[in-house]
Amino acid sequence: MNHDSYPDSYIREILTSVKSIAMAGASSTNVRPSYFVFKYLLERGYDMIPVNPGQAGKSLLGKPFVASLADIGRPFDMLDIFRNSDAAAAVVDEALALPTKPKVIWMQLGVRSDAAAAKAEAAGLKVVMNRCPKIEYGRLSSEIQWVGVNSRTLSSKRAPIPTGNMRLSLHRASIGGGATAAADRAAKDKNDVS
């Protein structure tokens, strides 16, 4: 796999097939990027598992922190690594030592370990490096268009206005809890006109 450029089909397949995501380096501090990503993915219906030894015993948005991947005690589909590149190899080794390995290792923006990626791929896992699942989800589902970001997805039709529990191209509910009655009415009225 060329880890400098991923086909949209590869990222889309990962985001539509995984159900549970363990986030190594999750933070309960609501201004940290890991908090934003955790909350976003949780609102899209993913079963999120926060992993942080310093937070064990506490919870993040109703999900209990665990100290290590082994402490999860059940299989999960994807490991999202929110640690620095130097720490990524040890986290991947921990995942590969589990009785049931995850299907995907995802390293966040700025995190890259080619040696860890090669080891995971040799074990049959898919790997994504230096990407954010929140950004990729928003881009591929067209949610990101509504905040003025170029999604690099061409279409002659404008994406529908995301409303509560609307299914977008990744077959998950949009903006959980963020909908307002006025926005829903505007979207309904706009959609009824066509």
pLDDT score of 29: 93
Query: What are the boundaries of each domain within the chain?
Result: 8-134
CA distances from 94 to 57, 69, 173, 176, 186 (A): 20, 7, 32, 32, 48
Task: With both helix axes pointing from N to C terminus, report the angle between 85-96 and 114-122 in degrees, rounded to the nearest 10.
Answer: 20
pLDDT score of 174: 47
CATH for 8-134 is 3.40.50.720
pLDDT score of 143: 73
pLDDT score of 1: 84
Over residues 140-167, the pLDDT tens digits come to: 887 765 555 554 555 555 555 555 555 5
Number of other residues whose CB lies within 10 A of the CB of residue 184: 15
pTM score: 0.77
Q: Which residues of the chain have pLDDT under 70?
A: 144-194
